[in-house]
């Protein structure tokens, strides 16, 4: 019956029909999600451990002057990228922000070429031309990490338009921060995606701050409510629990793949370090960081895997040691990698990521 309506009538009718998931306010902890099979749970933990140790290495190398420009670290938010990426397939596309190392590793960018990129080396994933903020790796579905706040929203919406035309079931994902929801194109893109019923998953990582500003001081109402006004299913998840994020993403991606149009997840999370390397994060309330660390994504995942997933603590310890060794190797190889030949800068426009 909806087929017989015109575009705007159809949207109005669909909005009226939409079943908004029974939803939590910020205070109620959202559902926890079922654990995947053992091997997959261990892989999910491995990715999060890799991101944590990789970021700590980048931080150390930045302080030694080996990483130029700036860095925006993902420490504390690992569960969001890994949980969502674990729900994706090869046909999907992902756009992220300048805080993009975590998403890059989560979608499978080679850690050595990512670190080499941070170090400006010729062997970097973008040939040393991007540095920390603008990583692209089309071979791993990553269409870009964007320095413009909310840039990923536009990029993923465009990618979703293209995917919908290809008709192969691909879904585009936009990761962005709480600060991006007050950009004009947030509303423009969500509206566009809803009207055209595009296969896109919007993932707002609400890490409580946009640079040095607490999000609630600049954001009216609840972020999770805004997409619902357009008829977009929208859910708040515990962004410190990778299995909760994974479960929500899995359902949302499935819905988008099956033609239900755009989907929205707000992941409640926290960044452990300052906005960028120049920021000592003195604006936080006393005790706030420690409170969030009590629900550290790695600790939460370890706890759930050992309590509910039939995993031994020793297996998790083994992953920790394996990643520690891997990251030491990344460091040594990265620092030994060649710098780009300045003569090749001329051919920058021909560089194919
Ligand atoms: C359009 C635009 N406006 C302002 C900036 C400067 N800026 C860079 S990061 C940032 C904060 C964004 O916060 P949020 O979206 O919450 O992401 P987070 O850094 O917390 O991951 C701002 C204002 C920018 N890069 N782009
Ligand atoms: Mg933020």
Which ligand has the minimum distance to the alpha carbon of residue 208?
2
Lowest-confidence pick of 112-126, 313-327, 334-348: 334-348
Neighbours of 129 (CB within 10 A): 18
- Per-residue pLDDT, averaged over 131-153, amounts to 97
Q: Are 306 and 299 in contact (CB under 8 A)?
A: no
The order of strands in the sheet holding 200-206 is 142-146, 93-97, 172-177, 200-206, 263-268, 234-238
Return the CA Rg of the chain: 20
177 within domain boundaries: yes
- Per-residue pLDDT, averaged over 114-127, amounts to 97
**Structural domain boundaries enclosing 93:** 31-334
Quote the ligand 2 centre to 117 CA distance (angstroms). 24
Residues in the chain: 353
Neighbours of 39 (CB within 10 A): 9
286 within domain boundaries: yes
Quote the ligand 2 centre to 269 CA distance (angstroms). 9
* Predicted confidence (pLDDT) at residue 29 exceeds the cutoff of 60: no
Q: What per-residue confidence (pLDDT) applies to 16?
A: 44
- Per-residue pLDDT, averaged over 96-108, amounts to 98
Residue nearest to ligand 1 atom 17, measured at CA:
177
CATH number at residue 149: 3.40.50.970
Quote the ligand 2 centre to 27 CA distance (angstroms). 19
Neighbours of 130 (CB within 10 A): 22
* Predicted confidence (pLDDT) at residue 32 exceeds the cutoff of 50: yes
- Give the ligand 1 atom nearest the CA of 276: 19
pLDDT band of residue 18 (cuts 50, 70, 90) is: very low
Ligand 1 pocket test, pick from 102, 147, 149 with the greatest ligand atom count within 8 Å of Cβ, gives 149
192 within domain boundaries: yes
HEC string for 1-56:
CHHHCCHHHHHHHHHHHCCCCCCCCCCCCCCCCCCCCHHHHHHHHHHHHHHHHHHH
Quote the ligand 1 centre to 146 CA distance (angstroms). 10
Dist CA 2 CA 8 (whole Å): 11
188 within domain boundaries: yes
232: CB partners within 8 A, 6+ apart: 18, 190, 193, 194, 202, 261, 262, 263, 264
78 within domain boundaries: yes
pLDDT in tens, 187-233: 999 999 999 999 999 999 999 999 999 999 999 999 999 999 999 99
pLDDT band of residue 351 (cuts 50, 70, 90) is: low
Quote the ligand 1 centre to 278 CA distance (angstroms). 14
Half-sphere exposure of 92 (CA within 13 A, CB side): 23
Q: What per-residue confidence (pLDDT) applies to 237?
A: 97
Q: Domain tally for the chain? A: 1
pLDDT band of residue 21 (cuts 50, 70, 90) is: very low
- Give the ligand 1 atom nearest the CA of 148: 26
203 within domain boundaries: yes
Residue nearest to ligand 1 atom 11, measured at CA:
210
- Per-residue pLDDT, averaged over 139-165, amounts to 98
pLDDT in tens, 71-82: 999 999 999 999
Ligand 1 pocket test, pick from 102, 179, 216, 284 with the greatest ligand atom count within 8 Å of Cβ, gives 179
* Predicted confidence (pLDDT) at residue 352 exceeds the cutoff of 90: no
Ligand 1 pocket test, pick from 71, 148, 211, 218 with the greatest ligand atom count within 8 Å of Cβ, gives 211
Q: What per-residue confidence (pLDDT) applies to 311?
A: 96
User: Average per-residue pLDDT in the chain?
Assistant: 91
- Give the ligand 1 atom nearest the CA of 151: 1
324 within domain boundaries: yes
What is the per-residue DSSP string for 140-188? GTEEEEESSTTHHHHHHHHHHHHHHHHTS---EEEEEEGGGGGSHHHHH
pLDDT in tens, 281-311: 999 999 999 999 999 999 999 999 999 999 9
Quote the ligand 1 centre to 153 CA distance (angstroms). 13
pLDDT band of residue 33 (cuts 50, 70, 90) is: confident
Strand (E) or helix (H) holding 199: none
pLDDT in tens, 223-269: 999 999 999 999 999 999 999 999 999 999 999 999 999 999 999 99
Residues touching ligand 1 (Cβ under 6 Å) are 97, 99, 147-149, 177-180, 207, 209-211, 275
Dist CA 11 CA 292 (whole Å): 40
- Give the ligand 1 atom nearest the CA of 181: 15
202 within domain boundaries: yes
- Per-residue pLDDT, averaged over 333-344, amounts to 93
């Amino acid at each position: 019956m909806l087929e017989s309506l015109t575009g705007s009538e159809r949207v109005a009718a669909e909005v009226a029909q939409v079943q908004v998931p029974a939803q939590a306010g910020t205070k109620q902890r959202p559902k926890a999600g079922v654990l995947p099979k053992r091997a997959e749970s261990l892989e999910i933990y491995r990715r999060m451990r890799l991101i944590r140790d990789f970021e700590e290495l980048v931080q150390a190398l930045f302080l030694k002057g080996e990483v130029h420009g700036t860095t925006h670290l993902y420490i504390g938010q690992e569960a969001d990228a890994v949980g969502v990426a674990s729900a994706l397939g090869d046909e999907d596309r992902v756009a992220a922000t300048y805080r993009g190392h975590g998403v890059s590793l989560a979608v499978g960018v080679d850690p050595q070429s990512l670190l080499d990129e941070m170090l400006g080396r010729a062997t970097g994933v973008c040939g040393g031309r991007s540095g920390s903020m603008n990583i692209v790796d089309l071979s791993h579905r990553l269409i870009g990490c964007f320095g413009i706040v909310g840039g990923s929203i536009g990029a993923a919406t465009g990618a979703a338009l293209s995917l919908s035309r290809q008709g192969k079931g691909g879904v585009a994902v936009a990761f962005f921060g709480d600060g991006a929801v007050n950009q004009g194109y947030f509303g423009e893109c969500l509206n566009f995606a809803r009207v055209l019923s595009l296969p896109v998953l919007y993932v707002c990582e609400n890490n409580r701050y946009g640079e040095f500003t607490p999000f609630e001081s600049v954001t009216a109402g609840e972020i999770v409510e805004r997409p619902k006004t357009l008829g977009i299913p929208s859910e708040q998840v515990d962004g410190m629990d990778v299995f909760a994020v994974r479960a929500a993403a899995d359902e949302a991606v499935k819905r988008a793949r099956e033609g239900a149009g755009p989907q929205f997840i707000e992941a409640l999370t926290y960044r452990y370090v300052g906005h960028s390397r120049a920021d000592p994060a003195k604006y936080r309330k006393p005790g706030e960081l420690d409170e969030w660390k009590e629900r550290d994504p790695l600790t939460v995942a370890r706890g759930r895997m050992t309590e509910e997933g039939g995993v031994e603590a020793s297996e998790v310890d083994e992953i920790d040691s394996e990643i520690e060794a891997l990251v030491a190797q990344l460091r040594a190889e990265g620092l030994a990698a060649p710098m780009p030949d300045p003569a090749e800068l001329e051919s920058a426009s021909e560089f194919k990521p």
